[in-house]
Structure 1
Amino acid sequence: MKKIGIIALLFASMSLVSCDLFEMDNYESPSETIHGAVVDAETGDSIRTDQGSEGIRVRLTQLNYSENASHNPDFYCMMNGSFQNTKVFEGIYNVRVDGPFIPLVRESKDGVPLANETKDVKIKGKTEVIFKVRPFLRVEFVGYPTVSNGQITAKVKVTRGISRDEFKSYIEPMGNYDESYPNVTDIQLFVSYSSSVGYRARDDRWSNSIEYSGDSFEPLLGTPVTIRSTKGQVIPSGRHVFVRAAARINYDTPMGSGTRRWNYSEPMEVMIP
């Protein structure tokens, strides 16, 4: 009889555990949507970016469970500066974006808050959030790229979205300011068969860059700069490729992350005759 009792208890325990597991497995999966865009506060244009960890990062932190809540997994904007996440639990969230623009969150080196331009929103159904930011640079093609003997030649114009003095006024109070931060360090010409062309979707055979040391790019601001696809690497005749130009400054966002993010032009499709 003792054995029968023990066996009955074991079965009862297993039954309870099974029920608990069944209940855990039947939680509803997240289905709310947050979507929006990151735009230039001055022009209203989208802040074009890369698709991946070098692009504009979106971070959600749910606030209605704990004041010390950890953030959700980060996700990234699409190349046109828009973003969407369709798998979010309903709740109140802090929404933050980090990219090639003046940081929304700024603190002194002692941790004293200087500015917080993030947004607290209630996500329920489909919720839109728009961020208006100050981009470091604006990048555009001048005219249409040309092709000769399988090599692309493009003219790229880079201007500042914020002056050196304005940049300094925002960043210097955060501490450890370096006068080299606003220097333009490189211009990129990314070439790819993919319409998502960028650092993450580039063909190394044809993509090319021009590097600049110190403040040597300063006289070239606002002036068309000629950049070509890689010399000696012929793009096959009859193909369609996509190109985008990009430029960046000597400043990482978020500060201390080591990631210097590019500001991008719109993509262009180029036919190789």
Structure 2
Amino acid sequence: MKTLKLLAKICLLLFIAMGCKQDDFSQPSETFKGKFIEKNTGKPFQTAIGNTGIRIRMMEYSWSDNPQPYDFNGKMDGTFYNDKIFPGTYGVTPSGAFVPLEEERLDIKGTIEKVYEVEPILHVDWIGEPVLNADRTVTFKVKITYGSNDVKYRTPLVESRLFVSENQYVGDFSFSPNYTVILNPAQMGLTASTILDNEGIILTVTTSQAHQAFPDYSRKFFFRFGARSQVAFDATNRYNYTDIKEVLIPQKN
């Protein structure tokens, strides 16, 4: 009986040891990195974080003609970095608030770097520097123009926003509703069907005390202007953005 119990214990230990055997597959360690720039200006493509920003879809064709998509997102400044990719041949399709790009086949092994030149749906640019007013509001000027000559992507604007946040991650994914200013077409001096001409539109936007006054103490706030048109991709109506402005709101006297 003791012998049978001993054999049973040995078998159990062997079973546990086999179950704890390490996976023979190596961890993904190839790197795909790069950036998106505006085709006509060479400036970094400004975008959001997450699903309303840049999505990079990778289809690994090394093992299947119909693979499951693997998606990851770019950063706010249009750069991307992923160092957890298995080696192989991929079909890569980026998407965002720009004229669509065709799928490209890439062999990912080691470090692959790629620069994408894209035509944004909208160019959104600051004009000059923000002005801090005596009533502790802030005034900005921006210019919105189309980024492509293709009439398919020159559609009416549906909304623009002066996004305001207490942190540097500012955009439709992170903003304070207390300070952010939302403009519909009428508030931009447009109709719902207005097509911008080549000169675009210049807007002057001031933060409003009607929302909520900035706090009495000194604090830095982060501002970013975004606009979107009727163009949507993947059922998502994305913003095009300026870069970020930092403004120190002084202590109230």
| Native 8 Å contact 2:60 2:67 kept in 1 | yes
1:180-195 → structure 2 map (5 Å cutoff): 182-195=155-168
- Mind listing any 5+ residue stretches in structure 2 that lack a counterpart? 186-190
Aligned to 2:85: 88
2:136, 2:58 → 1: CA distance? 45
Give SS of 2:50's match: coil
TM-aligned CA distance change 1:54 to 1:68, over 3 Å: same
Corresponding residue pairs, total: 241
Q: Which residue of 2 aligns with 1:167?
A: 151
Aligned partners of 2:146 and 2:198 also within 8 Å: no
What CA deviation, in whole Å up to 9, does each residue of 1:28-87 have, x standing for no partner? 221221111122222222211011211111111211111111112x22111111111121
- SS of match in other structure, 2:21: helix
**Displacement of 1:126:** 1.7
Q: Which has the larger displacement, 137-146 or 88-97?
A: 88-97
Corresponding position: 1:225 with 2:203:
yes
Equivalent in the alignment of 1:260: 237
The TM-score with structure 2 as length reference comes to 0.85
CA distance in 2, matches of 1:227, 1:21: 62
Structure 2 residue aligned with 1:214: 192
**Is 1:241 matched up with 2:221?**
yes
**In structure 2, C-alpha distance between the alignment counterparts of 1:150 and 1:95, rounded to whole Å:** 47
Runs in 1 of length 4+ with deviation above 6 angstroms? none
Distance in 2 of aligned mates of 1:217 and 1:19:
68
Cα distance in 2 between the residues matched to 1:211 and 1:75: 31
For 1:151-162, list aligned pairs within 5 A: 151-162=137-148
Indicate if the aligned counterparts of 1:51 and 1:78 stay in contact, CA closer than 8 A.
Answer: yes
Residues 1:202 and 1:217: Cα distance change in structure 2 (over 3 Å): farther
Matched position secondary structure for 1:130? strand
Secondary structure of the structure 2 residue equivalent to 1:190? strand
CA distance in 1, matches of 2:222, 2:99: 29
CA distance in 1, matches of 2:241, 2:80: 16
What SS does structure 2 have at the residue aligned with 1:53? Answer: helix
Q: Secondary structure at the match of 1:224?
A: strand
Structure 1: tracts of 5 or more residues without a match? 105-116, 172-180
Instruction: Give the direction of change, closer, same or farther, for the CA distance of 1:70–1:11 in structure 2 (3 Å limit).
Output: farther
Q: Identical aligned pairs, as a percentage?
A: 30
Partner in structure 2 of residue 199 of structure 1: 172
Distance in 1, matches of 2:27 and 2:227, equals 40
Distance 1:16 1:122, change over 3 A: farther
- Output the aligned Cα RMSD: 2.5
Alignment-mate amino acid for residue 82 of structure 1:
T
What is the deviation of 1:120? 1.5
Q: CA deviation at 1:118?
A: 2.3
The amino acid across from 1:59 in the alignment is R
SS in 1 for 2:161: strand
